[in-house]
Amino acid sequence: MNLLLISNSTNAGEEYLKYPIAEIGRFLAGVKEIVFIPYAAVTFSYLEYERKVQARFDEIGIRVRSVHRSPDPRKMIRHAEAICVGGGNTFALAKKMQEQRLMGAILSRIKAGIPYVGWSAGSNVACPTICTTNDMPIVEPQSFAAIGAVKFQINPHYLDANPAGHAGETREQRIAEYIEANSRRYVVGLREGCMLYCHDGRIDLIGSRPMRIFKKGIEPFEVKAGDDLSFLK
């Protein structure tokens, strides 16, 4: 499998996809065209989303073709040179992907070795389920099941902070609830500006910030770029 799973599209104060585009370019070296899944977009159109991603991918010389343009999105996936899934609302994304039976089609192509890039919701759907998303369930998908390209769960945009005066759960407390109910599953808290590169049987953390690891029965701990992540496989 050949995956680049990115926490967030945009760092504070930067342009859209600016910080990860060089890494995406290295990851997609030799790719001329990528099939894009825009279904996490809610407050703007799929066409706008395609244009927004294309504007950045122009910098790395890759054409972006969105599945919303096709009467047969699964056929596009079957013939894709590479696949990209954008961020937004994970529930809206999963619902549309399930309706079009794209989850299994994408997993088959990933297993065949074609590159997959996802950020935020696009990273969530690479996991076994979408249960560790931060998003509000604005629509109801058929199930929480996702692509299952990796065996662990990702919590993108992971935050340690608990704002002053806030009495609700922290991100860590919510993940603790998940691992209590799903004792066999690791959850990785992927902080902004970071990504996971899964390739050749390896998992590598890319970025200057550590990643927080959660599993039932284990005290949460931090890993940094260069650490051995083989326990996640």
Cβ atoms of 132 and 120 within 8 Å: the answer is no
* Distance between CA atoms of residues 219 and 45, nearest Å: 43
Tokens of residue 114, six digits: 């074609």
CA-CA distances (angstroms) from residue 225 to 41, 147, 174, 197, 211? 31, 25, 25, 11, 9
Among 66, 68, 123, 135, the one annotated catalytic: 135
Catalytic site residue from 7, 66, 120, 123: 120
Of 70, 157, 199, 204, the catalytic one is: 157
Is 123 tagged catalytic?
no
Our answer to whether residue 120 is catalytic in this structure is yes
Is the CB of residue 207 less than 8 Å from the CB of residue 191?
yes
Instruction: Output 173-178 pairs: Cβ under 8 A, ≥24 positions apart.
Output: 175/132, 175/214, 176/214, 178/131, 178/132, 178/153, 178/214
Question: Does the active-site annotation cover 157?
Answer: yes
From residue 64, give the alpha-carbon distance in Å to each of 44, 108, 215, 216. Answer: 18, 21, 37, 40
Write out the catalytic residue numbers: 120, 135, 157
